[in-house]
Amino acid sequence: MSRQYLVAGNWKMFGNMASNQVLVEGMCAGLDAVPKVQVLVCPPATYLTAIQQAARGSGLLLGAQNLAAQEKEGAFTGEILGSMLKDVGCSHVIVGHSERRALFGDTDAVVAQKVHAALAAGLVPILCVGETLAEREADATEAVIARQIDAVLAVNPVASLAALVIAYEPVWAIGTGKTASPEQAQNVHAFIRARIAAVDAKLGDSLRILYGGSVKPDNAASIFAQTDVDGGLIGGASLKAADFLAICAAAQSQG
Ligand code: PGA
């Protein structure tokens, strides 16, 4: 089946009101050239409302970088509920990014709960999975990704996952300038699709799988051309409108 490409910008903890304004205006100015592509930005949560207003009417989608595992309001200082993200205009949320897994205690179980919370709030979860360099060198890539996916399937009935997006982000490729080769990406993406298809063939077919890890304008097209790659999760290159739009154009030009 043909799946719509999604290109998502993960701004991480960068930017301010003034720089965001310039960035969003730059992106919105180029969206008409990429009508086939869903384009999403995930800024720091403090800026969601301002960006929602700056992008109004442009078609630029808004997402968050994280959400609380809880599903109801409560005494959870510092946390942000999925429904609050929805309330300020988010359609998507990144869940289980490797930086959250490595630095902020997002275990497989927490990530699975956050996927549940995102779906309960009506948000599209972008579930990040990926192996470290040591895991790849130990030939454990598939085992790690299977474990990360199976944890999510254990608490989320497959019937609830129609909206799910998975992002394959090899940890060794994030922010390092080292990209997985198109073949390496395709192999893991095919593995992910097969893992989901084994529990639900239709979902396996429709599932969008993004690649993330040092995607740049000059390597995006070769990665996006792979059969099981349906877009990208873009960190560093999403902080420059021209680079991000060039990556969106690489998605637009696919078959
Ligand atoms: P990068 O980040 O494009 O800067 O490697 C990707 C990500 O962390 O989502």
Q: Which DSSP string do the residues of the chain spell out, in sequence order?
A: -----EEEEE-TT---HHHHHHHHHHHHHHGGG-TTSEEEEE--GGGHHHHHHHTTTS--EEEES---S-SS--S-TT---HHHHHHTT--EEEES-HHHHHHS---HHHHHHHHHHHHHTT-EEEEEE---HHHHHTT-HHHHHHHHHHHHHHHS-GGG-TT-EEEE--GGGTTTS----HHHHHHHHHHHHHHHHHH-HHHHHH-EEEEESS--TTTHHHHHTSTT--EEEESGGGGSHHHHHHHHHHHHT--
d(CA 143, CA 138): 10
| 40 inside domain | yes
Task: Check 99, 131, 135, 169 and give the catalytic one.
Answer: 169
| 86 inside domain | yes
Q: Which domain holds residue 122?
A: 6-254
167 CA: nearest ligand 1 atom: 9
CATH number at residue 16: 3.20.20.70
Is 97 one of the catalytic residues?
A: yes
| 142 inside domain | yes
| 1 inside domain | no
| 134 inside domain | yes
- Extract the tokens encoding 19: 């720089």
128 CA: nearest ligand 1 atom: 9
| 43 inside domain | yes
pLDDT, tens digit, for every residue of 1-17?
A: 689 999 999 999 999 99
Do 31 and 7 contact (CB within 8 A), yes or no?
Answer: no
Q: If you measure from the C-alpha of residue 115 to the centroid of ligand 1, how many angstroms do you get, rounded to a whole number?
A: 20
Is 169 one of the catalytic residues?
A: yes
Q: How many domains does the chain have?
A: 1
> Chain-centre distance of CA 49, in angstroms?
20
99 CA: nearest ligand 1 atom: 8
pLDDT, tens digit, for every residue of 77-135?
A: 999 999 999 999 999 999 999 999 999 999 999 999 999 999 999 999 999 999 999 99
Q: If you measure from the C-alpha of residue 179 to the centroid of ligand 1, how many angstroms do you get, rounded to a whole number?
A: 10
Task: Check 92, 97, 116, 189 and give the catalytic one.
Answer: 97
Q: Is the CB of 169 under 6 A from ligand 1?
A: yes
| 72 inside domain | yes
Q: What's residue 2's pLDDT?
A: 80
Q: What's residue 144's pLDDT?
A: 98
The structure's pTM equals: 0.98
Per-residue confidence in pLDDT tens, the chain, 255 aa:
689 999 999 999 999 999 999 999 999 999 999 999 999 999 999 999 999 999 999 999 999 999 999 999 999 999 999 999 999 999 999 999 999 999 999 999 999 999 999 999 999 999 999 999 999 999 999 999 999 999 999 999 999 999 999 999 999 999 998 889 999 999 999 999 999 999 999 999 999 999 999 999 999 999 999 999 999 999 999 999 999 999 999 999 997
Q: Is the CB of 174 under 6 A from ligand 1?
A: yes
